[in-house]
């Protein structure tokens, strides 16, 4: 099953994804997309996520080539958990904007081909005010378009609010 879990910051989406991955009865491969970049607050978040992960989970850190990593680690007996797509988009927009379109296409192609279980985690950013800055608007457009495409490719789409999952597509919890 392919799942997309969306939610705001601190909405409970990561914990839900981790619970579902753990309940999958498959080997979990956690694909982390965050770049630290010397930010103390981000480093704290990364450390918190690492501490929550079971030691038997495989962790791969990949900030750019997500589609390639998913295909390289795909197996019917694995559950791939990607945390998080909006950080991945930010990495591409801010560090490698020349690769954005190719990497987005690669990710969507990979999702369509995967044989094993997949859980994608992303921030729902389209519920607020349209920002004034060009880069911020480009980010919102890119994340909204990506979410729409992935929602079509996934079997289940869940919006998480205040720690509560709201099933938008697929079987109920």
Catalytic residues: 49
Q: In what order do the strands lie in the sheet with 2-7?
A: 58-61, 27-32, 78-83, 117-123, 2-7, 156-161, 164-169
Interior CA angle at 148 toward 144 and 152, to 5°? Answer: 165
Helix axes 100-113, 134-153, angle to 10 degrees: 20
Beta bridge partners of 118: 2, 80
The whole-angstrom separation of Cα 128 and Cα 31 is 28
The residues near 66 (Cβ < 8 Å, ≥ 6 apart) are: 31, 33, 82, 88, 103, 106, 107, 110
């Amino acid at each position: 099953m392919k799942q997309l879990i969306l939610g705001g910051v601190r909405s409970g989406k990561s914990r839900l994804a981790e619970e579902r991955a753990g309940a999958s009865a498959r080997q979990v491969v956690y694909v982390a997309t965050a770049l630290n970049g010397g930010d103390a607050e981000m480093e704290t978040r990364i450390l918190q996520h690492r501490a929550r992960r079971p030691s038997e989970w495989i962790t791969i850190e990949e900030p750019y080539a997500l589609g390639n990593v998913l295909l390289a680690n795909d197996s019917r007996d694995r559950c791939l958990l990607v945390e998080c797509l909006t950080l991945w988009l930010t990495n591409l927009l801010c560090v490698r904007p020349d690769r954005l379109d190719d990497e987005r296409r690669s990710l969507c192609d990979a999702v369509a081909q995967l044989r094993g279980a997949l859980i994608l985690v992303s921030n729902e950013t389209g519920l607020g005010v349209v920002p004034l800055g060009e880069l911020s608007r480009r980010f919102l457009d890119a994340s909204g378009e990506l979410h729409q495409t992935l929602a079509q490719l996934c079997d289940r789409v869940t919006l998480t609010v205040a720690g509560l999952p709201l099933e938008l597509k697929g079987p109920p919890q």
